[in-house]
């Protein structure tokens, strides 16, 4: 895999980059992260990602040692070093850092900041055209009194186990319920259905990651007169949905045409999903023009 990595300010290629085995990120998954993408080689919605990173970090009593401008400079340096022509996938990780084999945060006073840059894995146009199948898995999203789902935590085992079920079924994503049994989000993306022309997504208090793309879809919808609203969604809503889609930074909007054995709507990507995707891309291109 071709990657360029910045570990605490030092840039190397992915094969050489290393971090101590005593880093709490490695030992305990004790850290937070953001996945950012570029359009036109510029990190997209950077301020929103940093706001969420700091919020996630604060919730595990961790502080980012650099200000937003310094992190941005480090990201650009790493993107430039990657020398790739195409758009970039950027994973920004902030961990508790190196310390004793203990949970005591005071024994690991210096956080680690790692930036991984690699070519953006674009969603194949063919998948956008046909839509994808997802699995409705038995792994439930974290209880809000456990690792709160709004924390974009490096501790991703729950999500990984959910995705393993989807992979076993040969599907593209794992749709999860929350501990109350409501549909909530996917293992790496947010979830929407479309009914009667409106796009509906579970509310934040259902216990999910407040996706940057999810929030952007509210703005994109407003620009093209598509209602985008929060709504509690349950299994039965899959049967009455006209369309469904997922959203994430790297995947933008991907139409879902089947959930488990249920065909969604007519079984192909619908007009509302397609209009939202087109407008999202148009807006992203406008916001990413170089002056």
Between CA 236 and CA 157 the distance in angstroms is: 28
- Interacting residue ranges for ligand PDD, rule: CB under 6 A: 35, 159, 185, 188-190, 209, 211-214, 247-250
Please identify, using beta-carbon distances, which residue of 90 and 238 lies nearer to ligand PDD: 90
Which pair of structure tokens corresponds to residue 15?
Answer: 């094969």
Please identify, using beta-carbon distances, which residue of 105 and 284 lies nearer to ligand PDD: 284
Between CA 241 and CA 252 the distance in angstroms is: 20
Degrees to nearest 5, angle at CA 18 with 187 and 37: 45
Shortest Cβ 7–ligand PDD spacing (Å): 19
Secondary structure (DSSP) of 268-282 = S--HHHHHHHHHHHH
Q: In 3D, which of 232, 230, 207 has the Cα closest to residue 218? A: 230
- 3 state SS of 149: coil
Please identify, using beta-carbon distances, which residue of 98 and 248 lies nearer to ligand PDD: 248
Shortest Cβ 34–ligand PDD spacing (Å): 8
Which pair of structure tokens corresponds to residue 37?
Answer: 């993408």
Please identify, using beta-carbon distances, which residue of 98 and 280 lies nearer to ligand PDD: 280
Between CA 176 and CA 160 the distance in angstroms is: 12
Shortest Cβ 186–ligand PDD spacing (Å): 7
Shortest Cβ 37–ligand PDD spacing (Å): 8
Shortest Cβ 251–ligand PDD spacing (Å): 7
Please identify, using beta-carbon distances, which residue of 82 and 213 lies nearer to ligand PDD: 213
């Amino acid at each position: 895999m071709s990657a360029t990595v910045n570990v605490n300010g030092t840039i190397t290629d992915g094969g050489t980059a290393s971090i101590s085995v005593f880093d709490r990120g490695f030992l305990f998954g004790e850290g937070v992260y953001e996945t950012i993408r570029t359009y036109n080689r510029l990190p997209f919605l950077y301020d929103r990602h940093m706001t969420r990173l700091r919020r996630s970090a604060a919730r595990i009593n961790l502080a980012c040692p650099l200000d937003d401008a310094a992190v941005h400079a480090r990201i650009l340096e790493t993107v430039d070093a990657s020398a790739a022509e195409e758009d970039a996938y950027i994973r920004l990780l902030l961990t508790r850092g190196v310390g004793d084999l203990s949970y005591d945060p005071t024994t690991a006073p210096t956080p680690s900041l790692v930036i991984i840059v690699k070519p953006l894995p674009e969603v194949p146009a063919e998948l956008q055209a046909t839509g994808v199948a997802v699995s409705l898995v038995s792994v439930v999203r974290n209880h809000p009194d456990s690792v709160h789902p709004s924390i974009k935590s490096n501790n991703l085992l729950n999500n990984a186990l959910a995705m393993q079920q989807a992979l076993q079924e040969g599907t593209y994503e794992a749709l999860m319920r929350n501990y109350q049994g409501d549909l909530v989000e996917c293992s790496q993306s947010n979830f929407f259905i479309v009914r009667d022309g409106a796009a509906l997504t579970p509310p934040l208090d259902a216990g999910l990651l407040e996706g940057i793309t999810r929030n952007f879809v509210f703005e994109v919808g407003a620009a093209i007169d598509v209602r985008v609203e929060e709504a509690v969604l349950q299994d039965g809503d899959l049967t009455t949905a006209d369309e469904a889609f997922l959203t994430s930074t790297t995947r933008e909007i991907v139409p879902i045409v089947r959930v488990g054995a249920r065909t969604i709507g007519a079984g192909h990507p619908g007009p509302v999903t397609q209009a939202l995707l087109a407008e999202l891309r148009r807006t992203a291109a406008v916001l990413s023009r170089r002056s």
